[in-house]
Amino acid sequence: MKLITRMLMPIGLGLLLGACASSDVSHQVSTSVAPYSDYALFTPVADIPDTTAIHTLDERQRTEFLSYFHDPQRADLSRHRRVADFITSFGEVFTFYDDTLTATNTFAQQRGNCLSLAILTTALAELVDVEVQFQQVESIPVYSLEGATALKQQHVRSFIYTPTTRAKVGSLILRPAGVTIDYFPSGDEVFVGNISRNQYLAMFYRNLAAEALVEQENDRSFALLQQSLLLAPEHPDGLNMMGVLHRRVGDTLRAEKIYLHAIAGNPDNVSLLKNYQLLLAAQAREQEAEQLGRQLLALEDPSPVNWLAAGNAAFDQGDYRQARALYKRASSLAPYMHDGYFGQARSSYMLGEIDQAERMLSRAREYATDDQRQRLYERKLSALTSH
């Protein structure tokens, strides 16, 4: 099963990373910097799910699963295979749904995003002593638009296995036999690394916080972000979202302090630097913004999706020259993706460089992955060449 998850970029606000998958699998909490705590006063929200509720199934759901699991006809199968087969038994009725759901809602509705599927998998596995590993995977990104928010979607999956006896010291330790639970894998995914349970749970709260921001529910978003930062106190995505939230409510002083704190521990994070640059530009601190822009372009982030999102943010702010430079970085890392070429085309057009816009739009059409997108680029190219 192929699952697509979300990173959010509020147009006019900056890059908001609220993905199912973290942008930094190996991120460690810094021991040299105290956990950040200087936040604005938001109204408390009572209905934030605790970590136990995330994986709770109702009695009917537990009975249905356990009856399937303990069926004598499946007794010769490993425990992890029976869990995987039960999830597969949902069949074609299990569909992609962009919101993040708890285990009981995913089970009942038989739909969800990749994190929802990981949550359901974990809930089932824990009932029958099956272990779960959470894996971050990179694949070609998907963009969609929800209101005033551009959604950049990423991917996470689960690997389940039956526990075995611990190996003796000095013996060869191999990866246990197990099953990967995924949404329609295309074969283009690249395994990035395993993530901890706390990181996985923090993702759940960040996803809900991102959804709350889309709905303008600032108090709820803050409460969810607080919960995520309890689990991953210095995670750059959580702090980044906190900065975006504070800027949204007009507390630019605290937003800047949050960005500076986060950047101190993550100086190479494209999203953090771009958001901070947007804040500086909005305050007409042009010299500082330009300096940060040069620092941003000097980064070596290997992920094209981060450069695409940063380019979109720069474009939305009217900084077309920087936007084009950021889109170029994306294209250099992923020349097979049409998004970077289209970004360069529209930036060049806004800069009055029509010939360059035509060349980039032609390349975007060449690499478009569906007929609808190809037709869109063809129409835009025809409009340009007719001038």
Range of the domain at 325: 268-387
Give the chain's domain count. 2
pLDDT attached to residue 8: 34
Cα distances (Å, whole numbers) of residue 37 to 4, 5, 40, 247, 283? 32, 28, 10, 16, 24
Per DSSP, the three-state class of 96 is strand
Q: Give yes or no: residues 13 and 104 share one domain.
A: yes
The predicted pLDDT at position 176 comes to: 64
Residues 173 and 28 in one domain: yes
299 and 367 co-located in one domain:
yes
Classify burial at 70, counting beta carbons within 10 Å of its beta carbon; exposed 0-12, middle 13-18, buried 19 or more. Answer: exposed
Domain final residue, candidates 245, 266, 287: 266
Q: Are 26 and 172 in contact (CB under 8 A)?
A: no
Q: Which of 83, 108, 81 is nearest to 94 (CA)?
A: 108
Contact 218, 248 (CB under 8 A): yes
Both 195 and 317 in a single domain?
no
Q: Are residues 161 and 19 in the same domain?
A: yes
Structure tokens at 154: 């990423």
Residues 97 and 189 in one domain: yes
Q: For residue 22, give both structure tokens.
A: 């973290």
Neighbours of 252 (CB within 10 A): 14
Kindly give the interhelix angle for 270-282 and 252-265, rounded to the nearest 10 degrees: 150
**Same-domain pairing of 287 and 217:** no
Rounded to 10 degrees, the C-alpha dihedral 310/193/137/155 comes to -70
Return d(Cα 213, Cα 206) in angstroms, integer.
Answer: 10
Asked which of 220, 250, 266 is the last residue of a domain, the reply is: 266
Q: What's the rounded Cα separation, in Å, for the pair 277 and 289? A: 5
Q: For the chain, give the number of residues.
A: 387
- Digit-by-digit pLDDT tens for the chain (387 residues) are 433 323 333 333 445 544 443 344 333 333 334 567 888 899 999 889 999 999 999 999 999 999 999 999 999 999 999 999 998 887 666 777 778 999 999 999 988 888 898 999 999 999 999 999 888 776 655 443 344 344 445 577 788 888 874 444 554 445 567 888 876 555 555 666 778 899 999 999 999 999 999 899 999 999 999 999 999 998 999 999 999 999 999 999 999 999 999 999 999 999 899 999 999 999 999 999 999 999 998 988 887 888 898 899 899 889 999 999 999 999 998 898 899 999 999 999 999 999 999 999 999 999 988 888 888 888 888 888 776
For residue 195, the SS3 value is strand
Question: Do 239 and 171 share a domain, yes or no?
Answer: yes
DSSP string computed for 297-357: HT-----HHHHHHHHHHHHHTT-HHHHHHHHHHHHHH-TT-HHHHHHHHHHHHHTT-HHHH
Distance CA 102, CA 344 (A): 40
Specify whether the CB–CB gap between 157 and 42 falls below 8 A: no
pTM: 0.78
Residue 214, classed as helix, strand or coil, is: helix
Contact 121, 83 (CB under 8 A): yes
- Residue 343 has what pLDDT? 95
Last residue of a domain, one of 266, 298, 327: 266
Burial classification of residue 180, based on how many CB atoms lie within 10 Å of its CB (0-12 exposed, 13-18 middle, 19 or more buried): middle
**CA dist., res. 354 & res. 239, Å (int):** 40
State the DSSP code for 155. E
User: The dihedral of CA 310, 281, 317, 236: what is its sign?
Assistant: positive
Q: Are residues 31 and 174 in the same domain?
A: yes
64/98 same-domain check: yes
239 and 286 assigned to the same domain: no
Return the pLDDT at 144.
Answer: 39
Q: What CATH number should be reported for the domain holding residue 309? A: 1.25.40.10
Same domain, 213 and 277: no
